[in-house]
Amino acid sequence: MSENTQEPVVRYDVAGGVATITLDSPANRNALSPRLVHKLTEALTRAESDDTARCVVLTHTGSTFCAGADLTSPPVPGAERKSPADAVTDLMVAMLAHDKPIVGLVTGHVRAGGMGLVGACDLVVAGPKADFALTEVRLGLAASIVSMTILPRLAGRDAARVFLTGETFDAARAAELSFVSAAATTDDGLVSELKQLTDAFAHCSPQGLRETKRLLNEEILVRIERKRADLGSQSMRLFSSDEAREGIAAFREKRRPAWVLG
């Protein structure tokens, strides 16, 4: 489903030294349409030049943080035309290379490309209703592009289970895997976890935060530059395959794909 072009899809607010960027396209589960990606990139640029903000919180409306790519939406007038793979890759690079720490605040479902956004955040706090899954393998696909921000956050055997099974796991398990920084069991606990981080950033210098982020994310950015072309090609090849067409059709029709055993 394409989002209503009259809706804002991304909101920007700043208060108390925190720039809050909210994904606000709940009708299509905050899917990564060209318009949402464009507006999110604009909001990140705005936060970077906002001297009143020491950090960024990336959050969402609705029950889903981000459901992944939305390939049904039209291009954004006036925006540079990019392939979906390039657009999402550039967005993740913008997050990793951002001058200010980005904290993901997740209170709902995270799937596919949304996992890539979570991986591109510097820190993540998740609430009791949050859950996570890389479902590509169940659709005849692979988590090609988003693997570039997810793999650095997971240890080898943990990554294999997340990538190969497509199973859903909750916030507590995500914290055990170090995919999120903290998992709160209550909404009040979630607010407390977030405040602890944003209060800490208020004591840090802008230069110190900027240069420390570069230290932390340098290797991920180098790997993205090296791998993006090959992974983009893999993504396009898989999306056009017979198995992927069957997997996506089965998902939309709420049925089991042809390859399911038993």
Task: Count the Cβ atoms, other than its own, within 10 Å of residue 199.
Answer: 12
Q: How many CA atoms lie within 13 A of 262 on its CB side?
A: 0
User: Which is catalytic among the residues 42, 80, 136, 167?
Assistant: 136
For helices 84-96 and 206-239, angle between their N-to-C axes, nearest 10 degrees = 160
Known active-site residue 3: no
- Quote the CA–CA distance of 67 and 136 in Å, as a whole number: 12
DSSP labels for the chain?
Answer: -PPPTTS-EEEEEEETTEEEEEEE-GGGTT-B-HHHHHHHHHHHHHHHT-TT-SEEEEEESSSEEE--B-TTSPPPTTSPP--HHHHHHHHHHHHHT-SS-EEEEE-SEEETHHHHHHHHSSEEEE-TT-EEE--GGGGT---TTTHHHHGGGS-HHHHHHHHHH---EEHHHHHHTTSSSEE-SSHHHHHHHHHHHHHHHHTS-HHHHHHHHHHHHHHHHHHHHHHHHHHHHHHHHHHTSHHHHHHHHHHHTTS--TT---
Enzyme catalytic residues: 136
